[in-house]
Amino acid sequence: MSRQDPAPEGIDTDAPGRLRFDQARWVDDSDEVYEPLLAEKGTKEVDIDAELPGELTRDSLELPDLAEPELARHYTRLSEMNYGVDSGPFPLGSCTMKYNPKFTEDLAARPDASIHPDRSERASQGTLELLYELQEYLADIGGMDAVTLQPPAGAAGEFAGMLIARAYHQSNDDDRSEVIVPESAHGTNFASAAMAGYEVVELPSDDTGRVDLEALESALSTETAALMLTNPNTLGLFERNIEQIAELVHDVGGLLYYDGANLNALLGRARPGDMGFDVMHYNVHKTFATPHGGGGPGAGPVGVREELREFLPDPHVRKAGDGYERYTPEQTVGKVHGHYGNWLVLVKAHAYITRLGDEGLTDASAKAVLNANYLAEQINYEIPFGPFHHEFVASAGEQDAADAAKRMLDFGVHPPTTKWPEIVSEALMTEPTEAESKRTLDQLAAAFDAASESSTVQLEDAPERTTAARIDQTDAARNPRLSWHALEDAE
């Protein structure tokens, strides 16, 4: 088998700062990318003796039968054919994949971290103490009075926050019907509000990319349950009028919800609670370096001010004498996840916060802002809005943003988010995060510039140096093949 192909025509592998990228390409005799399944490498038949009804079992089953070296090499080859946060930068704007430090994985893998959720409170005091500490850390970081760790992802946190807002208004015999969401908000904001039973009112941006105050005043009414806001927003812009925005929302009896996707820009410098936010969720994957992507696991804790504490999901953790206990808040919205939430993800977030401390978290936000602004200064694409914080949105101009992104893959980096937010034409939404070095930022800048200088033919043919070549995205979205058998059937 051949592992590499020659550099395709048009790839300038000698350009300064542009790393030659050769992703592993294990190919068969027909030049098709191929790494056999474990079952194709060797199997053995195993007898089944299970205490289950006969109609639910088989007499035997064929399972892979490989020596350890074969198994290790199989998964190593698959990893070489893929790209992840351990391979290089992953600057997807907004829902960014940040490098996850390995010490947190070591802690989560300790035998004493493997707790059964039905353990008694007496036997779970260490677990409850860690959860309580994390609640307090997050409350202090966000300027909130209480935090639930139950939601299993950021979007689930949004939904839980909207359920809390609804329960709060209903407790005041105030049946409100609308939630206002800026056009630059995460798509999940719109969905979370709608799932909670609200009509979504979309709010336009002004010519600076921020909330249009006149439009906000026109949209606000006694039907407004909440305004969902990200600050800095998805253009990386800080809402300079946030105190006025909070006052306008509160004047009509609404709540101000903070989408914590971009909290890493503010750590140790500003707190949503101090800006006037009433409810917020924390994206621990980006702010506190827990894993993200691939379907999970995740965590999306939610913080609230004091008036909303008793609406938190069940159970909550509090101090009780010399120990800790679970309890059900008086007006709880109920369960949003089982037991303690995604416990091991929370262990990692606790470890990250504890290791960095106040000084380290403040330094992280400084580097998040510095890295984004440095990278923006190095690239040729236009950036229509600024000044920005942790991320920026460039425009691919006359190029198709998706083509430019695919071209960047040929230079050893993962591309940014494309074509969103729609405020920017052919958007390239980029967040390098605080974890990346200047060397990596220069590599990213070189990949941006290589894409900006590419011909139409080069853009339309890209990527050419990755394991999987250019795919039909529309067909992949409309006709997903979710199993090996589906792929075989399609052939």
- Per-residue model confidence as pLDDT tens digits over 162-196: 999 999 999 999 999 999 999 989 889 999 999 99
Q: Which residue has the tokens 């500003």?
A: 270
- The CATH number of the domain holding residue 196 is 3.40.640.10
The pLDDT of residue 6 is above 80: no
**Least confident piece of the model among 22-26, 198-202, 243-247, 428-432:** 22-26
428 has which bridge partners?
A: 394, 418
More confident residue, 307 or 86: 307
- What is the mean predicted confidence (pLDDT) over 102-125? 92
Are residue 293 and residue 259 in the same domain, yes or no? yes
Are residue 137 and residue 45 in the same domain, yes or no? no
Are residue 256 and residue 313 in the same domain, yes or no? yes
The domain total for the chain is 2
Q: Which residue has the tokens 């380290």?
A: 360
Share of the chain above pLDDT 90, in %: 73
In a domain, 33, yes or no: no
pLDDT tens digits, one per residue of 135-150 = 999 999 999 999 999 9
Are residue 118 and residue 55 in the same domain, yes or no? no
The pLDDT of residue 9 is above 60: no
Are residue 145 and residue 242 in the same domain, yes or no? yes
Roughly what angle, to the nearest 10 degrees, separates helices 187-195 and 154-171?
A: 40
CA distances from 5 to 2, 87, 183, 414, 460 (A): 8, 20, 44, 20, 20
Give the model's pLDDT for residue 3.
38
In a domain, 165, yes or no: yes
Domain hosting residue 56, numbered range: 38-80
Dist. CA 358–CA 326, nearest whole Å = 28
User: Residues 363-371: contacts with CB within 8 Å, 24+ apart?
Assistant: 363/268, 364/264, 364/267, 364/434, 365/264, 365/265, 365/266, 365/267, 365/268, 365/269, 365/390, 365/434, 366/434, 367/434, 368/264, 368/265, 368/433, 368/434, 369/265, 371/432, 371/433, 371/434, 371/436, 371/441
Pick from 355, 384, 415: which residue ends a domain?
Answer: 355
Give the model's pLDDT for residue 14.
45
Q: Which residue has the tokens 């609406």?
A: 311
More confident residue, 259 or 296: 259
Share of the chain above pLDDT 70, in %: 94
pLDDT band at 314 (very low <50, low <70, confident <90, very high): very high
CA distances from 476 to 8, 84, 414, 427 (A): 25, 21, 19, 22
pLDDT tens digits, one per residue of 78-105 = 998 888 888 888 899 887 778 899 999 9
In a domain, 183, yes or no: yes
The pLDDT of residue 477 is above 60: yes
pLDDT band at 294 (very low <50, low <70, confident <90, very high): low
The pLDDT of residue 10 is above 60: no
The pLDDT of residue 389 is above 70: yes
Q: Which amino acid is at 94?
A: S
Are residue 155 and residue 210 in the same domain, yes or no? yes
In a domain, 176, yes or no: yes
In a domain, 428, yes or no: no
pLDDT band at 31 (very low <50, low <70, confident <90, very high): confident
Are residue 123 and residue 72 in the same domain, yes or no? no
- What is the mean predicted confidence (pLDDT) over 11-32? 67
Are residue 183 and residue 331 in the same domain, yes or no? yes
Give the model's pLDDT for residue 297.
79
Pick from 306, 330, 355: which residue ends a domain?
Answer: 355
- What is the mean predicted confidence (pLDDT) over 37-65? 89
- What is the mean predicted confidence (pLDDT) over 30-51? 86
pLDDT band at 296 (very low <50, low <70, confident <90, very high): low
- What is the mean predicted confidence (pLDDT) over 438-449? 95
Give the model's pLDDT for residue 17.
56
- What is the mean predicted confidence (pLDDT) over 30-56? 86
Pick from 303, 336, 355: which residue ends a domain?
Answer: 355
Give the model's pLDDT for residue 238.
96
Q: 263: buried, middle or exposed (CB in 10 Å: 19+, 13-18, 0-12)?
A: buried
427 has which bridge partners?
A: 395
In a domain, 23, yes or no: no
Dist. CA 9–CA 307, nearest whole Å = 64
Are residue 172 and residue 315 in the same domain, yes or no? yes
Are residue 305 and residue 256 in the same domain, yes or no? yes
In a domain, 455, yes or no: no
Both tokens of 482, joined, read 């979710």
- CA–chain centroid gap for 153, Å, is 8
Are residue 202 and residue 67 in the same domain, yes or no? no
- What is the mean predicted confidence (pLDDT) over 407-431? 94
Roughly what angle, to the nearest 10 degrees, separates helices 343-378 and 438-452?
A: 60
- What is the mean predicted confidence (pLDDT) over 12-22? 58
Give the model's pLDDT for residue 32.
76
The pLDDT of residue 295 is above 70: no
In a domain, 368, yes or no: no
pLDDT band at 8 (very low <50, low <70, confident <90, very high): very low
Are residue 49 and residue 147 in the same domain, yes or no? no
